Amino acid sequence: MMGPPGSGKGTQGKIVAEALKIPHISTGDIFRQAMSEATPQSEELKALINKGQLVPDSLTNAMVFKRIERSDCIGGYILDGYPRTLSQAEVLDAYLAEKHQNLDYVVMLDVPEETTVDRILNRRFCKSCGGSFNITTNPPKIENICDYCGESLSARDDDNEETVLDRIKVYEKETKPLIEFYESKGIVCSIAGDNSVKEATKEIGKCLGRDI
Residues annotated as catalytic are 9, 84, 123, 156, 167
Cβ proximity to Zn ion, 112 vs 148, nearer residue: 148
Smallest distance from Zn ion to CB 38, Å: 28
Choice from 23, 76, 131, 205 touching Zn ion (CB under 5 A): 131
Which burial class, exposed, middle or buried, applies to 4 when counting CB atoms under 10 A from its CB (0-12, 13-18, 19+)? buried
Of 118 and 151, the one with the shorter C-beta distance to Zn ion is: 151
Which residues, in sequence order, are bridge partners of residue 79? 25
| Site for Zn ion contains 138 (CB under 5 A) | no
Burial of 67 per CB tally in 10 Å (0-12, 13-18, 19+): buried
Task: Provide CB contacts within 8 A for 89, sequence distance 6+.
Answer: 83, 178, 181, 182
Which bin fits 53, alpha (ψ -120 to 50), beta or left (φ > 0)?
A: beta
Any contact of residue 142 with Zn ion (CB under 5 A)?
no
Is residue 47 near Zn ion by the rule CB under 5 A? no
Stretch that binds Zn ion, among 48-56, 89-97, 127-135, 179-187 (CB under 5 A): 127-135
Which of 126, 164, 178, 204 binds Zn ion (CB under 5 A)? It is: 126
Number of residues that bind Zn ion (CB under 5 A): 8
User: How far, in Å, are 36, 74, 77, 203 from residue 209 at the CA level?
Assistant: 37, 19, 15, 10
Q: Which residues bind Zn ion (CB under 5 A)?
A: 126, 128-129, 131, 146, 148-149, 151
